[in-house]
Structure 1
Amino acid sequence: MRPFALAFLLALAGGPTLAQPASSWAAHQAPSAGPARVIGTTALGCLAGGEALPPEGPAWQAVRLSRNRNWGHPETIRGIRTLAQRARSAGLPDLLIGDVAQPRGGPMPFGHASHQSGLDFDVWLDVNPRPPLSRAQREDWPVASLVLPDQSGADPNRFTAAHARLIRLAAELPNVDRVLVNHGIKRSLCTVHGGEAWLRRVRPWRGHDSHMHVRLRCPAGSPECQEGPPIPAGDGCDASLDWWLSDEARRPPSPPRAPGPPPALPPACGPVFRAR
């Protein structure tokens, strides 16, 4: 549905509440007009004035374009371009960029609880030399897990110094908040790079065994943006990393299904949702 038609139908219905389902946010095909603003948090927020990452560019290719999730704050798009340029200078192939955000951010119908405010982007951990991929190939390009089956570390037959180089380049981006990778990858990085300053920003998280999740800090000009808790001091190679191998971490309880509407987004997301 075209953006103006969607807005017209919503206006006839009296306008949305701030607890619109994810499918309604995903229905927007274009961003709202006006200055770029990050609103709320990466897990409960939206994006005004988003910018699209071109499907292809110098040193990157966006994957799964059919999802229409290659939108972000201009600072995020600039960060992706910078990372791609630095990766090429380091001898790495074109980066495969996964989900960034929807045109107006907001919750997604599937795949992520975050990526809502235009500050997150995924980079596939594929450093193998390859020719440029067609858009059709990038819809379903396979990327193998880099983690051992028991998740005790990265698979030494797959994880290479090139992977570590790419993760470090992401962790050293300007205005980066953190880089999420599987705890097995973090553990292997600690073995080789323990004590290095950049490693503090590489944080363990479930999944993320074949891609990394890069999150930037709130940009200037976004007073409604809210950042998460600060990263603890140190390189993260301490006992807190061992917790991920515990039974508690391996078998997390299923989140309860709360009845009723989804959580309400910040009030400033209402005009973003309704804008033509």
Structure 2
Amino acid sequence: MRSVKRSGRIAKAMMLVASLAAAAAPEAIAADGPPAKELFGGMKLPARAEPTAYGFYSKGCLAGGVAIPTDGPTWQAMRLSRNRRWGHPQMIATLEQLSQDAARYDNWPGLLLGDISQPRGGPMLTGHASHQIGLDADIWLTPMPSRTLTTSERENISATTMLKPKAFLTVDPKVWTPAHAAVIMRAASYPQVERIFVNPAIKKKLCETWTGDRSDLGKVRPYYGHDYHFHVRIKCPADSVGCKSQDPIGRGDGCDKSLAWWFTDEPWAPPKKDPNAKPAPKPKPMQLSALPKACAMILNAPSPDSELEATYRGNGRMPSTASAFSAPSTPTADGTAMFALPAFVPVPLPRPAGQ
């Protein structure tokens, strides 16, 4: 039965690629041109397509992205001007689930959501190297206030660092609480979560103080930055056959020599320079041709006509729309099939409280 289901998912993915190819302009496959970050950063809406992640977290794109509503009962989205509230539906469902579970069980009033992905994924003009396939999300370590933040506040207030002032790699007990630990470990407990990135000092704090189930502590990985937010990454969806998974984490809780290394000089030492070496050429921005081939097609796929229709409805449910691409109709002159596009695509809409 599993093989039959997987074959069906593969066939659906192949249909998606074929249909996007029919819609794509030939010049989109050109090897050179504007950097990929400019192309994807300029897209305001997603591609009309079955939700699919292509490529790797730091080198790929997203079809059929959905936007989490600006406000929910247990979350608020930040930095709205960036238009990075988009993700694969499984990512958006995970964020809503975490916001509800943390409020119910962990004394965490709600999530302030940072960047997820762009409407069609891909490289960003500023900031992240990852977040390209709709399976990454940043969550502020500042709890959600009891009131709705204004647009100006969402743009200008800063998240709170968990580190002591002028004390490198030391968690500040004045701001860190058991609820911070609980919400991070709550996210790590979800089976779909692949990794969570935090500052090394936060990982060390969890290693020293977490008294609950430690079986998922190994998912929490120390990394540069991440002192004011934690980064949640989920696994490749089963039906995203073009998505490249990350290597599995090792066994154990990660409270070992691999963590101790972050508290040596080596990770923070500037690279040694050869005084006789010629200056290295400035790296060129990633081109569209460096991404999976489907990304050029996704970039040129149609957008919705308006932002008044379908959005993410919560609890893992999507609006009941037609399949992203129907069965092929009469072939065109060049032998490719024309596919009917759905009437709706997921776009951001305010979500009434209580739904």
| Alpha-carbon shift at residue 189 of structure 1 (Å) | 0.7
What does 1:1-276 align with in structure 2 at a 5 Å threshold? 11=25, 14-17=27-30, 20-90=35-105, 91-127=107-143, 129-148=145-164, 149-193=166-210, 196-253=214-271, 258-260=282-284, 262=286, 264-276=290-302
Question: 4+ runs of 1 displaced by more than 4 Å?
Answer: 256-261
Say which is worse superposed, 149-158 or 53-62, in terms of deviation: 149-158
Query: Is contact 2:67-2:86 (8 Å) kept?
Result: yes
| CA deviation string 1:45-100 (max 9, x = no partner) | 10001011111112000000100000000000100110010111032122100000
Give the secondary-structure state (helix, strand or coil) at the position aligned to 1:151.
coil
| Alpha-carbon shift at residue 154 of structure 1 (Å) | 1.3
Query: Is contact 2:195-2:220 (8 Å) kept?
Result: yes
Paired amino acid for 1:46: C
Give the secondary-structure state (helix, strand or coil) at the position aligned to 1:96.
strand
| CA deviation string 1:167-200 (max 9, x = no partner) | 1111112300011000000001100127811211
Q: In structure 2, how many angstroms separate the alpha carbons of the residues matched to 1:136 and 1:152? A: 31
Query: Is contact 2:71-2:77 (8 Å) kept?
Result: yes
| Alpha-carbon shift at residue 158 of structure 1 (Å) | 1.4
Gaps of 5+ in 1: 1-9
Paired amino acid for 1:14: E
* Identical residues among aligned pairs (%): 43
| Alpha-carbon shift at residue 153 of structure 1 (Å) | 2.9
Give the secondary-structure state (helix, strand or coil) at the position aligned to 1:171.
helix
| Alpha-carbon shift at residue 133 of structure 1 (Å) | 1.2
**Number of aligned pairs?**
265
When residues 111 and 246 of structure 1 are mapped into structure 2, their CA distance, relative to the original with a 3 A threshold, is same
Q: TM-score, normalised by structure 1?
A: 0.90
Q: In structure 1, how many angstroms separate the alpha carbons of the residues matched to 2:168 and 2:243? A: 35
Q: In structure 2, how many angstroms separate the alpha carbons of the residues matched to 1:171 and 1:82? A: 13
Gaps of 5+ in 2: 1-23, 273-279, 303-355
Q: In structure 2, how many angstroms separate the alpha carbons of the residues matched to 1:260 and 1:125? A: 34
Q: TM-score, normalised by structure 2?
A: 0.70
Give the secondary-structure state (helix, strand or coil) at the position aligned to 1:206.
coil
Query: Is contact 1:18-1:270 (8 Å) kept?
Result: no
Give the secondary-structure state (helix, strand or coil) at the position aligned to 2:216.
helix
Query: Is contact 2:65-2:88 (8 Å) kept?
Result: yes
| Alpha-carbon shift at residue 112 of structure 1 (Å) | 0.3
Backbone CA RMSD of aligned residues: 2.1
Query: Is contact 1:151-1:183 (8 Å) kept?
Result: no
